[in-house]
């Protein structure tokens, strides 16, 4: 069986469960022996999962050691599946079998201290190694096209196994199903880029430009960042808004049950508990697909796909239609006389019901905006339900809500108007000027990267109608701001960014939007090499020239943060004239040096 078949088949015949969400993933796994898992997955599939687990759990190991341990566990599983009665080894929980296998190996990096502990502390110790190993491995480099195709034609299956191992060790927290999905994309990329047996396809280098891992990895890092920084309550609120929008016909109890299960899954995944993460994810998908009549008619096609492809399909499927007759308002949460008593008794559950009811009515709002609306409602109740508060206090909530909605929509419309007027390059320059002043401590490469990602959001979202603009723009922008905040966590940027990244997840985007020039920043000193011009400015490749000009723009703003638009215009005009003059010269380098 080849790797492509393995990846398609993986997990298709996995654990059979009742049509309700799990009690806990450990409850389920302890009742499923290694022999049963082996029979459900088949040998090649079981071995692929084992390879991922060992690659993720042993930072600094080698492919040879991981593959040998995977072979050993697979051999045990094969024996257990074939035996008429289970031996004690076959009855151990799967996670204990995997950790015992690691601890039987000699001289594995950093594992001795963990192996000296008893479960569950041993497992926690190995998970902490995953945390300390982030950044341990160098990024997976894009292969040399010709060499990759030559190796693929000679060693196709082992190369895909090598790819799975390398991705797994570089991304110790990435979902195993996501890794297998990426491996499938890798297999397809190799076949498409390398062409037929007669020879490789044209434009091989272009073909290999695909970023296979980025999107899945970024989204998982983002979710884990929210959980780590803002806690389970915030993550649950975000998932409640998103699931309520996706399944507006589902009742609150069903949606709330899903939210709790999804949050528990992310806790396992973000801890690096690969087995628990997979079990939870599988359970949720089975529950969703067995509850289509309650949730949505639009997920039927997704549920007919192989399990590996179901999750992404459900995430990307259009929100279901709102129930007929659902009013756009939720005035009962303000006008009912007993609202303060209900809030006092139910607290978070009452707030969750409000967020559910408001989210299912407004698919045109972003999840982050819905969280801001939910926070506004909570603040309103805390203020207006105090003893002695005037009876009219709650009535101002609707006006404040209208004001916030108008402000958010205005910001997005204005940004899109600028994008449509200026186009990609000049819109990115506007962003560069703004973000270099807000965050001058970032490198030129970082500023260009982040603003490039924001510009891509403009090209993707600004062409959409008003009903899709906000969810598209703010939710994609949230990913970029999450990257910036994780960068700040690793290496602090400045107090303003610290405040915005720490105080509130829902208000992070408006907070960063309102940042102005960082007054604590000490501008760059003018040195002879600060504005060095070279012959590369005469390149005819527009993309390289634009990148070089953007680097110089960032340097100028770091040197003179308070530069006025008029001064910047004069500098730009002088630079353009100098470049045209020097690039006409026989020796541009000498001309630039003179200038």
Residue 320 per-residue DSSP state: P
- With tokens 């950093």, the residue in question is 110
CA–CA dist 466, 50 (Å, integer): 47
CA–CA dist 593, 72 (Å, integer): 65
Query: Residue 100 annotated as binding?
Result: no
What CA–CA distances, in Å, run from 543 to 101, 424, 434? 51, 12, 21
Phi, psi of 199, deg, nearest 5: 160, 165
CA–CA dist 199, 195 (Å, integer): 6
Number of Cβ within 10 Å of residue 416's Cβ equals 18
Residue 241 per-residue DSSP state: H
Number of Cβ within 10 Å of residue 389's Cβ equals 13
What's the residue count for the chain? 595
What are the CB-based long-range contacts (under 8 Å, 24+) for 269-273?
269/173, 269/175, 269/220, 269/224, 270/173, 270/223, 270/224, 270/227, 270/228, 271/127, 272/56, 272/127, 272/130, 272/131, 272/172, 272/173, 273/123, 273/127
Cβ-contact 261, 283 below 8 angstroms: yes
Longest Cα–Cα distance of the chain, Å, equals: 87
| DSSP codes of every residue in 185-235 | HHHHHHHHHH-BTTBPPSSHHHHTT--SSHHHHHHHHHHHHHHHHHHHHHH
Rg (CA), the chain: 28
Cβ-contact 365, 469 below 8 angstroms: no
> Which of 63, 308, 289 has its CA nearest to residue 184?
308
Binding residues: 273
Binding residues for Zn(2+): 273
């Amino acid at each position: 069986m080849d790797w492509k078949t393995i990846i398609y088949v993986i997990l298709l015949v996995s654990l059979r469960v009742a049509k309700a969400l799990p009690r806990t993933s450990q409850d389920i796994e302890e009742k499923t022996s290694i022999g049963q898992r082996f029979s459900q997955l088949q040998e090649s599939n079981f071995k692929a999962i084992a390879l991922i687990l060992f690659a993720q759990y042993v930072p600094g190991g080698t492919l040879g050691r991981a593959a040998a341990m995977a072979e050993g566990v697979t051999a045990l599983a094969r024996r257990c599946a074939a035996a008429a009665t289970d031996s004690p080894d076959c009855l151990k929980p799967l996670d204990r079998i995997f950790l015992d296998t690691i601890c039987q190996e000699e001289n594995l990096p950093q594992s001795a201290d963990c192996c000296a502990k008893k479960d569950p502390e041993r497992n926690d110790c190995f998970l902490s190694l995953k945390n300390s190993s982030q950044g341990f491995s160098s990024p997976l480099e894009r292969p040399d096209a010709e060499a990759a195709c030559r190796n693929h034609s000679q060693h196709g299956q082992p190369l895909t196994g090598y790819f799975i191992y390398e991705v797994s060790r570089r991304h110790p927290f990435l979902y195993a199903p996501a890794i297998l999905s990426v491996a499938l994309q890798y297999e397809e990329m190799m076949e498409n880029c390398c062409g037929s047996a007669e020879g490789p396809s044209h434009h091989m280098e272009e073909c290999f430009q695909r970023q296979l891992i980025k999107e899945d990895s970024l989204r998982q890092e983002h979710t884990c960042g929210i959980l780590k920084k803002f806690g389970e309550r915030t993550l649950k609120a975000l998932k409640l808004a998103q699931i309520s929008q996706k399944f507006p016909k589902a009742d609150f109890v069903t949606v709330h049950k899903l939210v709790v299960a999804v949050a528990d899954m992310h806790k396992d995944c973000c801890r690096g508990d690969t087995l628990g993460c997979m079990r939870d994810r599988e359970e949720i998908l089975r529950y969703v697909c067995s509850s289509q009549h309650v949730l949505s008619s639009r997920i039927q096609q997704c549920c007919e796909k192989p399990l590996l492809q179901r999750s992404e399909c459900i995430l990307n499927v259009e929100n279901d239609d709102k129930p007929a007759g659902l009013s756009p308002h939720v005035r009962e949460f303000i006008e009912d006389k007993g609202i303060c008593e209900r809030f006092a008794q139910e607290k978070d559950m009452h707030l969750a019901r409000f967020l559910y009811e408001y989210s299912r009515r407004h698919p045109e709002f972003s999840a982050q905006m819905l969280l801001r609306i939910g926070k506004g409602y909570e603040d309103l109740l805390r203020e207006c339900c105090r003893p002695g508060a005037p009876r009219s206090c709650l009535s101002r909530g609707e006006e404040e809500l209208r004001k916030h909605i108008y402000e958010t929509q205005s910001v997005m419309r204005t940004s899109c108007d600028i994008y449509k007027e200026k186009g990609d390059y000049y819109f990115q320059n506007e962003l560069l000027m703004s973000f270099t002043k807000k965050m001058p401590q970032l490198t030129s490469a970082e500023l260009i990267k982040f603003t490039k990602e924001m510009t891509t959001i403009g090209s993707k979202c600004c062409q959409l109608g008003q009903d899709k603009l906000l969810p598209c723009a703010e939710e994609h922008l949230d990913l970029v701001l999450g990257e910036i905040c994780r960068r700040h966590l690793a290496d602090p940027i400045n107090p303003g960014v610290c405040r915005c990244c720490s105080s509130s997840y829902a208000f992070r985007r408006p907070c960063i939007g309102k940042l102005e020039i960082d007054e604590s920043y000490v501008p760059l000193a003018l040195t002879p090499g600060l504005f060095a011009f070279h012959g590369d400015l005469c390149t005819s490749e527009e993309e390289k020239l634009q990148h070089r000009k953007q680097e110089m723009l960032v340097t100028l703003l770091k040197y003179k943060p308070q530069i006025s638009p008029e001064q910047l215009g004069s500098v730009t005009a002088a630079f353009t004239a100098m470049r045209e003059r020097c690039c006409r010269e026989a020796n541009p380098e000498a001309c630039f040096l003179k200038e």
